Structure 1
Amino acid sequence: MFDLSEKNLARIQENNIPELTNTPIETFPFYQGLNLANIPTSICHWFGIPAIANRPLDLPEPPIAPKDVRNIILLVIDGLPFDRMHSWLEKGLQKSHRHACWKKIQEEGLFTPLTSVVPSTTANALTSLWTGKVPAEHGVIGYELFLKEFGITVNMILQTQVYPYLNNDTPVLSHNLSHFLPVPTLGSHFRDQGIQPFAFQHEAICNSGLSQMLFPDVTKVPFTSPQDMWQKVSDLLAEQVSVRKYLYLYWSDIDTLSHHDGPDSRRTRHAWQWFGHLMERFLADQARSGRNDTLLLITSDHGQIPTFIQPRYEVRFDQKFMSMLKMPPSGESRCPYLFIKHGKTQVFHEYLESRWPGEFTLFPPADLVTAGLFGSKKMSPLIQNRLGNFVALPKGNAFWWWANKENRLLGRHGGFSQQEMVTPFLLLLI
């Protein structure tokens, strides 16, 4: 296996933004070629079609000419940290003398770390993967965002209002969600180039608000289990051999279990082991087909860190904290966006240091955007309205919990630790 882990992990660790070196940021996004936002441009390049996006991945070319690529599969495993997939590969390669799929990975696979986008969260990352744009360009910069154009805070995955008194179960965007983003998505581009795009997701989320935003002109394929997903992928590859296809596969169980049981919990580890076993079976089946015309890409949107339930981080009960804000925080629990009331900035700073000394640092959004933390250095009105007037960056495993419900999460993401920001990327011709 062409393992670039050591080389590219060192590059990621050395990467920094000079204007932000003395900040709580541990791992910076590597938008210059080792970031998930670079994947779509590389996919277009490997298909031999024009790109609609930013720079490609800074990786060696795959062992196949673009004209010979019939299919590209992008598997996104939500919440899978780099180290877990690296360990899986190391253990699997010990079986390469007995298993054809592992022999193929050993001889032809390419593996490297990449970085997530900022903040390191699903809605943001998947939007970059379906547009090729950095967060500052597409604007989906968090799980919960204040949308000034609607005057409300919205869950960006479900497209529902966040707070119960605003009727949380009702979609808030009455217009066509396929036109919500300010940038084009890849589905239409692929179809224009003669490539049929498919999106495989669990049936429970196949028609979510985020899916409607990202999948115009994409054939959605719901599945009920990982076994069902792999079977449907195999059937599609076998039945439509002459059609060039892009298959996007999304599996969320690792992220869900990491949130509720912790990223290092036994249940989380077992779920990954079972999913890895199913991948082995799929790869073995494809190896027997002998087609060698499909690029399989495996990555994740972000990792996670373990977080203990600590009442001192539950700001929903902190009346003084909330009284200084125009509205509850938005964004991510580990990258909150704040709308501090006029004239309250100094007293808010002082309260921050007295309640959580050294754990949170406030930054004007313009300082972060113009430094390039969100990709582009241009501060658009869209981004400015969603970031508030201050962004709080946490140190260590600190977070804020402001949701009007009990905090049960033992794992989180959205921050800048290496566990959250560094993601795996495997490329294999099958």
Structure 2
Amino acid sequence: MLDSGSVEWMARVLRSLPTSEEIEHRLLERRLNEWMIKPDYEGYGLANLVSSVIRCFGCKGLRHTPVPEAPLNGYLEGAENVILLLVDGLSYYQIKGFVDRYLKDLDPLIMPLTSTFPSTTTTALTTLNTGLTPLEHGIIGYTMYLKEIGVVLSLTNFAPSAAPESTSLLQAGLDPSSFLNVESIHTEVKRSGARPIIVTRRLYRESPFTIMLGADAEIETYVSTSDLFIKLRKIVEQSKDRLFLFPYWDGFDISAHIYGPESEESEAELEAFFSSLKSNLIDKMDPSAARKTAMLVLSDHGQVTLAADEVLMVSDHPTLLNALHIPPTGDSRAACLYIKPDMREEVFRYVEQHLANLFVVYDVRTLIKEGIFGLGEVKPNLFDRTGDLILLPKRNGAVAYNYRPRSRGFELRGGHGGLHPREVLIPLLCLNLGRVGRVTCLLESL
């Protein structure tokens, strides 16, 4: 039990730390331009969070500095099990109301972090599974050009973007398990003596992307939101080993893409998620298992509501299209442009004269110097995967290109990939399931 001196000292430390609002203000000041903010890779990024988590398992090879704030360490301290629950697509600005309704009694900590660039699932999940920044791991966007085989690849299924159902690349020997060629955090956690377990939807179990990221992790699956939390609770209650659980839930992101991130339909997805988290996991978990378990809920990126009149169909701009030697890759809100020789200045001029009210274009090397892709050693083939220029929407736009001639037009109402604050700022929600009201009680005891 803490003595009065220790209580007073700890309370003083907690009060001296920056609040979530102060951290948010600090991150919003990291401006690339008046419309966009820079991801933070020096303390409040996903690679930093990975270091914080694996450190609590005794892993020594931290690839980046941990998140600096002591309150996070307080939630992880002494935990035998850590659940790192990823909610795909959730912006920092969308979580507080649900936490107040469902989790307030758990004395939660909510603080902002930043996503990667591009702010998209393939890039951010690779960072979370390796502890490396995009600059280091080289997974850039939802679609990516592989110069070595001359194909624009859809990363989620390792298929050509022009033929997403094809398995030809896999049959030709493109191996997801060796594609990254870096050690995963699951290998490090397993080496420490704990069990790393990825929990994903059943339909993703055999996906190439899961195989790419899941080296040395066990794979468990679920069908819907409700059985996800029942599955997590049973794993924690039945295990005799230390656990690192990494569940992935995409219900909100799917809804937000189709209906918009602030739509009634998407809000209903989040309502169902937090309700099930409370009723099927927190309320029913055996107290002895709960006392050993810390839960971190975070997102990979946020989303922006798209405006139909701000969507750039590349095929409608022949000057821009003719300057490209392959179609745009990356993401709809972070388009990687591969420019024909001697056409770079023409692209800059075209964007300035015809698109400047909606878009801005950057040289990739400029963004690297600005730290947008991260810190560390540059992946040798990074520039093959980023192209020459990056086209970014200033507000609610997107860049669209139909890889398949008969495909339907651009119909999404929510998008991400860029550097808008609602894409870049993501929530980190900390819950220690066995320490209800821990910090509140500490402060109230003074």
- TM-score scaled to structure 1, two decimals? 0.90
Tell me which residue corresponds to 1:179.
178
Contact 2:35/2:395 (8 A) holds in 1? no
Amino acid in structure 1 at the alignment position of 2:254: T
Tell me which residue corresponds to 2:47.
37
Q: Which deviations, in whole Å up to 9, do the C-alpha atoms of 1:278-322 show, x marking residues without a partner?
A: 011111223745641111000000010100223861113433321
Q: Secondary structure at the match of 1:407?
A: coil
Moved more, 416-425 or 23-32: 23-32
Answer yes or no: is 1:429 the counterpart of 2:429: no
Amino acid in structure 2 at the alignment position of 1:211: T
Contact 1:257/1:263 (8 A) holds in 2? yes
Contact 1:263/1:305 (8 A) holds in 2? yes
Contact 1:24/1:393 (8 A) holds in 2? no
**Aligned equivalents of 2:356, 2:190: Cα separation in 1:** 53
Q: Secondary structure at the match of 2:274?
A: helix
After TM superposition, give the deviation of residue 7 of structure 1 in Å. 1.8
Give the length in aligned residue pairs: 410
Moved more, 76-85 or 362-371: 362-371
Answer yes or no: is 1:49 the counterpart of 2:47: no
Tell me which residue corresponds to 1:262.
260
Tell me which residue corresponds to 2:200.
201
Tell me which residue corresponds to 1:9.
24
Q: Which runs of 5+ in 2 are unaligned?
A: 1-13, 434-446
Q: Secondary structure at the match of 2:189?
A: helix
Distance 1:418 1:182, change over 3 A: same
Answer yes or no: is 1:296 the counterpart of 2:305: no
After TM superposition, give the deviation of residue 384 of structure 1 in Å. 0.9
Distance 1:251 1:312, change over 3 A: closer
Distance 1:175 1:159, change over 3 A: closer
**Aligned equivalents of 1:392, 1:192: Cα separation in 2:** 42
Tell me which residue corresponds to 2:440.
none
Tell me which residue corresponds to 1:158.
157
Q: Which runs of 5+ in 1 are unaligned?
A: 93-100
Tell me which residue corresponds to 1:402.
401
Contact 1:86/1:424 (8 A) holds in 2? no
Q: Which deviations, in whole Å up to 9, do the C-alpha atoms of 1:195-217 show, x marking residues without a partner?
A: 11111111111221211110011
Q: Which deviations, in whole Å up to 9, do the C-alpha atoms of 1:297-356 show, x marking residues without a partner?
A: 000000101002238611134333212210111111111111111122233233223331
Amino acid in structure 1 at the alignment position of 2:151: I
Tell me which residue corresponds to 1:97.
none
After TM superposition, give the deviation of residue 24 of structure 1 in Å. 5.5
Amino acid in structure 2 at the alignment position of 1:124: T
After TM superposition, give the deviation of residue 25 of structure 1 in Å. 5.2
Moved more, 333-342 or 350-359: 350-359
Tell me which residue corresponds to 2:73.
62
**Aligned equivalents of 2:76, 2:387: Cα separation in 1:** 47
Q: Secondary structure at the match of 2:268?
A: helix
Tell me which residue corresponds to 1:118.
117
Distance 1:372 1:88, change over 3 A: same
After TM superposition, give the deviation of residue 429 of structure 1 in Å. 1.3
Contact 2:109/2:430 (8 A) holds in 1? yes
Contact 1:125/1:301 (8 A) holds in 2? yes
Contact 2:142/2:330 (8 A) holds in 1? yes
Q: Secondary structure at the match of 2:307?
A: coil
Q: Which deviations, in whole Å up to 9, do the C-alpha atoms of 1:193-239 show, x marking residues without a partner?
A: 11111111111112212111100111111111111111111111111
**Aligned equivalents of 2:237, 2:48: Cα separation in 1:** 29
Amino acid in structure 2 at the alignment position of 1:85: I
Alignment of 1:352-367 (within 5 A): 352-367=351-366
Tell me which residue corresponds to 1:306.
305
Distance 1:102 1:90, change over 3 A: closer
Distance 1:302 1:370, change over 3 A: same
Q: Secondary structure at the match of 1:285?
A: coil
Moved more, 179-188 or 130-139: 179-188
Aligned-CA RMSD value: 2.2
Distance 1:311 1:28, change over 3 A: closer
Tell me which residue corresponds to 2:167.
170
**Aligned equivalents of 1:14, 1:312: Cα separation in 2:** 28
Amino acid in structure 2 at the alignment position of 1:402: Y
2:420 to 417, 420, 427: 417
Report sequence identity in percent.
Answer: 28
Contact 2:57/2:189 (8 A) holds in 1? no
Contact 2:133/2:376 (8 A) holds in 1? no
**Aligned equivalents of 2:401, 2:75: Cα separation in 1:** 50
**Aligned equivalents of 1:377, 1:191: Cα separation in 2:** 25
**Aligned equivalents of 2:81, 2:59: Cα separation in 1:** 13
Amino acid in structure 2 at the alignment position of 1:62: N
- TM-score scaled to structure 2, two decimals? 0.87
Tell me which residue corresponds to 1:334.
333
1:77 to 87, 90, 102: 87
Amino acid in structure 2 at the alignment position of 1:6: E
